[in-house]
Amino acid sequence: MILYLDTSALVKLYVQESKSRETKQLAETAEVLATSRIAYVEARAAFARKHRDRGLTTARHRSVVRCLDQDWDSYFVVDIPDSLAKMAGALAERHALRALDAIHLASAVVIHDKAGRDLTFYCFDARLSAAARDEGLRIPG
């Protein structure tokens, strides 16, 4: 199974949050973990915000960033060419999505269409989950 992680799910692999345990368990069952290139930037921003808000110590923040950097090459990362950006624009309009959510959804749809394999889309946003389901992607649970 290919497991597509949007940033909300990816972050849970590195910092303890609600549903982190379940996210890690699901990730362990996947053959491939996939995400969009934008997830790296979003994750780093989330880690920095947690550090600023004192949710991560300086040492823990450095450790989390180091772990993400070490793991990054093991993920199947989708880049954002013009064709994907245009697809994301259409998905944003069709499903009333925020821009980066639409890029995540478009990235997962592209993988699903090209891989010809089972893909599960994992996120923690109800609107994005519903849009993914409407686009024919599997949602856990």
128 is in which domain, residue-wise? 2-134
Distance CA 5, CA 74 (A): 13
pLDDT 10s digits, 114-139:
997 789 999 999 999 999 999 999 99
Confidence of residue 113 (pLDDT cuts 50, 70, 90): very high
Distance CA 9, CA 131 (A): 16
* Domain CATH for 12: 3.40.50.1010
pLDDT computed for residue 117 by the predictor: 75
Q: Give the global pTM.
A: 0.95
Q: How many domains does the chain contain in total? A: 1
pLDDT 10s digits, 25-35:
999 999 999 99
Let me know if residue 140 belongs to a domain.
no
pLDDT, the chain, mean: 97
For residue 126, the number of C-alpha atoms closer than 13 Å in the C-beta half-sphere is 0
Let me know if residue 117 belongs to a domain.
yes
pLDDT computed for residue 111 by the predictor: 97
Let me know if residue 139 belongs to a domain.
no
